[in-house]
Structure 1
């Protein structure tokens, strides 16, 4: 009886060429390929061994929140401007 696992599912994602290249270079320093890293990450996620990161608790997000709460913001457009910008993103 064979104990070899059949890997029959492909998972893909899209990132910029810059992100891909930097990730490849940094992972290579640790002896990993991007594919190996993603495979290991998915195994950890499947085994519930992943600690999720809340980007809303980052230093930058908390600083932005403090600025908004203390009125240290400036208006750069209207809600309509924002809606138009989102619509243009959806077109691409």
Structure 2
């Protein structure tokens, strides 16, 4: 009985051109391509070797929560300012 060839799967994702360019440069400095890095990351995820970071437990997040719970808030803008900030982040 012959073994069937292993079929490769293609995984794709979308990022901004700026992020792709920066990632490509930083990974090249370490001798990796973006594809190689993603492949390594997926192998680690498949082997349950990924430790996710819970940003809600960071010292900054806990301090912000404490400030909100004790009404120590400072208004720094409105919803339009927030939307402008999000658009600027997406451009980067």
Band of TM-score, shorter chain: 0.5 to 0.7
Q: Distance in 2 between matches of 1:18 and 1:57?
A: 29
Relative to the length of structure 2, the TM-score reads 0.65
Residues 1:67 and 2:60 are matched in the alignment: no
Residues 1:52 and 2:52 are matched in the alignment: yes
Residue equivalent to 1:36: 36
Q: Cα RMSD (Å) of the superposition?
A: 2.6
Relative to the length of structure 1, the TM-score reads 0.65
How many aligned positions are there?
Answer: 78
Shift in Å, 1:43: 0.6
Structure 1: segments with no counterpart, 5+ residues: 86-92
Structure 2: segments with no counterpart, 5+ residues: 84-92
Q: Which has the higher contact order (CA 8 A, sep 6+)?
A: 2
